A and B are shown apart, each in its own frame.
Chain A
Amino acid sequence: MSRASGATPWSVVSGLALRGLWRELRGGSLGAMLLALCVAVAAVSAVAFFTDRVERGMQAQAGEFLAADRRLSSANAFDAALDEDARALGLRVARTLGFPSVIMAGEASSLVQIKAVGEGYPLRGRLASADAPGGAERDEAAGPAPGEVWGEARLFAVLGVQPGARLAVGHASLRLTRMLAAEPDAGGEFFQPAPTLMMNLADVPATGLVTPVSRVRHQLLLAGPDAALTRFAERTQARWPSGARSEGVEDARPEFRAALDRARQFLGLSAVVAVLLSGAALVLAARHYQSRQQDSAALMRALGASSSTILRLYVLRLVALGLAASVPGVLFGFLAQFGLAALMEGLLTVRLPAPGLGAVGMGLATAQVALLGFALPALVRLHRTPPLRVLRRDLPAPTPGSALLFAAALLAMGLLVLMQAREPTLALVLSLGLLGLLGVVYLAAWGALRLFGRLRFSGGARLGLAALTRHPHAGAAQLSALSLGLAVLLVLGVVRVDLLEAWRTQLPADAPNYFAINIQPDELPALQAFFAEEGIRPAGVYPMLRARLTAINERPVRGEDYADARAQRLALREFNLSWAAALPSDNRLLAGRWWTAGDSESGAFSIEEGIGERLGFGLGDRLRFDINGAPVEAVVRSVRSVQWDSMRPNFFVVAPPGFLDRHPAQYITSFHLPAGREETYRRLLERFPTLTLFDLDALLAQVRGVMDRATVAVQYVFLFTVLAGLTVLHAAFLSTRRERLREAALLRVLGARRRQVAGALLVEFLALGMLAAVLATLAASVLGMGLSVWVFELPWRFNAALPLWALAGGVGLTLLFVLGLMRQVVSAPPGRALR
């Protein structure tokens, strides 16, 4: 036998830390910690697995939005030698050419957006065609052969032609062979004015449509490894035409990426609520564990263990516990992720790849941060347990100061929120908000219990209610966790529906439900006559012309100057200008003045308040727009608020009549068509085939469908909150279990029957459930009222179903919980418990 000198080696400490862990897990406070951690890890992993899939899916598909990995575009032609340079670097190359043109089919004609595609197109993404509109789609490896063209479905309708028809495209006659069903780089605009006609690049010279002065868009598509793309740019950039723009996959669809980021944050933060509740369970369980470990710590100290040995032992044990909880937690999260993906499936435009391991780290890290922040501080002074405790059992280990407990919990909370929000400022704001929310709920719970404690009851009820109010902090923790979980579900399940309903009913019954766009100026009289004939009152007919904002006070506008993705998108895209003599009826003037006599000559703009805020201009600023290559400049004379949900045509920027008249415009209107007037709808389409009609009811139903699915997904994540709330009940119950067993035994010795003992327990938890229902109803109502009145400006009305749902939820959950415990408490033999 030999003895090592100095500190106890790590191998021994870790052996001690791990040994007995499994046994202590069962039923004890370590078990409660494990359970709480599992729920936390599962919640976070489910979201992490899912968003990781979406992110990878997006990355894989980002190229499809460009039909390439990198796209160069310019108004001028690219040097023919560039293709060879690219191939030499191992890149694949294709060219496209885009321009608008009017084509003819017999007597019929239509404005189309021509897209001439060369060999190799598309380098990425899916191109598909069909025999005829409505026919089965077929994937295509390349665009139309020379001499052939493919047209979008609406082109067949506009021209009134069948597949096989000959089209006059400039000087060339080409055969319309197939319907264009899907193109990867469709542009993604909501309003695309002209249908696309796809042709072969080789046919372009014969059309005579492209001359050096024509307004065309040349594109050079490239695909291949990143390094080669970078090399290509370095080597050839000098030979690109001036003003050439280079877009990579990272530039593709910034608004989509922003939406995804927001969704990830939102789901992640929903999961954090569950983690924080689990944190409360950890705090309770760790305190209990600390009180149960004092004997062991004292004994080890008496046997000669140094305080550092004991400290290391408990830290290691917690780390091991975190790992042990992470395995089932991650697994559970992995399974739950499939549910989330199924719920979100219809909402996502990306194909999800198989789940990857990238999300495992998030679960592991969450477990450790939660343990170190919420559980370790309670145990950290066990190593100072007086060894004399082995002789005098009443000597306690020093308890850690509440400042330490609070600071550690706060730090962990901030870190957990940061891990999901990934933005320090947002994390800080949210942490403070969450802290405030938890604080308010906790105080409310504490106050409710105090009030409740004042009430006088008799018999078994008194015993049960005394148990509820005896430990004010544990009781308040239980009550607030349960209330919070319920309140969240109520807001998502009941309040949201109420809000939507309130919004729908406050819309006037005759609010417009159809938008008509693409109205040509010469059609306008006939259309207005048609409306008059049919007794339809359009909500104003407005001209609409597409313009690009190029400068604010002579300073050029560039997308990269805006941090926010939505602003970036707005700054880059073309938006719609209009003109009007009078302020539209649903607009309000916020600043400046409406038109005066000279404005038509000198020009003026009236802007919507939101666009000004987002893009950084306001009253008195000089804006320059580019309309079809012609610059238009004027000063902002007024700022308006717009009621977008009036369903009337509305515009970000409006000019006075006469100022923009020389630019070609089309018209837009909206109108109400009651249900049952499908005949009118059909006649309208027949008379005005180039009109584009949007059915708002159908769109709204679609939007609502999307919202419903999204909320179900969020509710799904919040189910973890309820589970976490149950772990708090469990942990709180555990810390009073001994006392309860003793009491139940004492009651039985004194002659109480089992039913009476069980009754007291039932009363206690039913009361807990009911109190939670009251608090949750209150919280959900206050939130609903706040949202109605301040955010959505809708009338608010208390929903009587709210307390009923809350009661069902609260009582149901606690009942579920207490039935599991009942046997334990009631059936323990009195002798054992009293010993």
Chain B
Amino acid sequence: MPQPVAPIMETRRLTQKVAGPEGELVILHEIDLAVAPGEALAIVGPSGAGKSTLLGLLAGLDTPSEGEIHLLGERLDRLDEDGRARVRAGQVGFVFQSFQLIDGLTALENVLLPLELAGVTAAAARAASLLEQVGLTPRARHYPRQLSGGEQQRVALARAFAGEPRVLFADEPTGNLDSVTGQRVIELLFALRERHGSTLVLVTHDAQLAARCDRRVRIAAGQLSEELAR
């Protein structure tokens, strides 16, 4: 199937090796992957397969051993740490398995953080509106420790979409939540994505969740394979 437009992110012969106790370990081997703007991609695979490693590379959080990574029109593998941060600033959002909220900041301030870092003006109103979209307006002044796991992840969702990111990376967003709460968070995630039109890269080992994405790829033994829709 030919791509109608240029991909928003793309890898070519992307290889990641690490030094292990028994010599070199190849986690990812010559992976070619392209994601179209607005697409929702699920990365699936068993634990330890290298899903998070790939996500980190795509987001420019790490540097590859070999190969190219293009994100939002930039060659990430040719940029330094601050260069990659500049690409992310205001254009990329994250949702993590472990929420990753800053303890010292209120829910509202956590949502505000990416906006402020990107130098966005009139950020407060926008952050408040995002909190409203995840249904946490009454909890705006609460600190993460005063919130339940599900609530914390909803704050994280609000934070992820606050900057109207062009790309959203999510690494097992329901991994630390019970199924009911997880379900609620997923509904919200997809609703927000719909509204903001962000490209989504979602790592999960939950088949049901993966099924809601436009496309699924599986990692096994360092190789990437396309899964067809059922």
Measuring CB to CB, which residues of chain A are less than 8 angstroms from any residue of chain B?
1-6, 8-9, 12, 15-16, 19-21, 23-24, 295-296, 299-309, 386-388, 390-393
Contact = CB atoms under 8 A, between A and B. Distances in A.
Contact of A305 (B59, B87, B117, B171): B117
Interface string B56-67: 100101100000
B23 to A, nearest CB: 20
B88 A20 contact: no
Given A302-B94, A304-B88, A305-B85, A391 B52 contact: yes
B78 interface: no
A2 B121 contact: yes
A12 B94 contact: no
A309 B104 contact: no
A20 B103 CA distance: 9
B52 A12 contact: no
A794 B94 CA distance: 75
Interface residues of B, number: 37
B61 A302 contact: yes
Interface of B: 52, 55-56, 59, 61-62, 81-82, 85-92, 94, 96, 98, 100, 102, 104-105, 109, 113-114, 116-122, 126, 143, 164, 171
Given A12-B119, A304-B92, A20 B61 contact: no
B118 A304 contact: yes
B85 A304 contact: yes
A391 B96 contact: yes
A397 to B, nearest CB: 13
A299 B110 CA distance: 11
Contact of A390 (B82, B100, B143, B164): B100
A3 B164 CA distance: 11
A387 B114 contact: no
Contact of B164 (A1, A5, A300, A309): A1
Given A1-B122, A8-B117, A302-B59, A390 B94 contact: yes
A9 B119 CA distance: 7
Contacts of B56: 388, 391-392
A303 B105 CA distance: 16
A152 B152 CA distance: 87
Contacts of A3: 90, 118-120
Contact of B113 (A303, A307, A391): A303
29 contacts: A1-B121, A1-B122, A1-B164, A2-B120, A3-B120, A6-B119, A12-B119, A19-B105, A20-B102, A20-B109, A295-B100, A301-B81, A302-B59, A302-B88, A302-B94, A304-B85, A304-B90, A304-B114, A305-B89, A305-B117, A306-B82, A308-B82, A386-B61, A387-B85, A388-B61, A390-B100, A391-B55, A391-B61, A391-B171
A444 to B, nearest CB: 39
Max chain A Cβ within 10 angstroms of own Cβ: one of B81, B90, B116: B116
Contacts of A307: 81-82, 85
Contacts of A303: 88-89, 94, 113-114, 117
Given A299-B102, A303-B113, A4 B119 contact: yes
Contacts of B98: 393
A54 to B, nearest CB: 44
B165 to A, nearest CB: 10
A9 B89 CA distance: 14
A3 B102 CA distance: 23
Given A20-B109, A390-B61, 8 more contacts: A9-B119, A295-B100, A299-B100, A299-B102, A300-B117, A308-B82, A387-B85, A391-B171
Nearest to B126: A1
Contacts of B122: 1-2
B85 A306 contact: yes
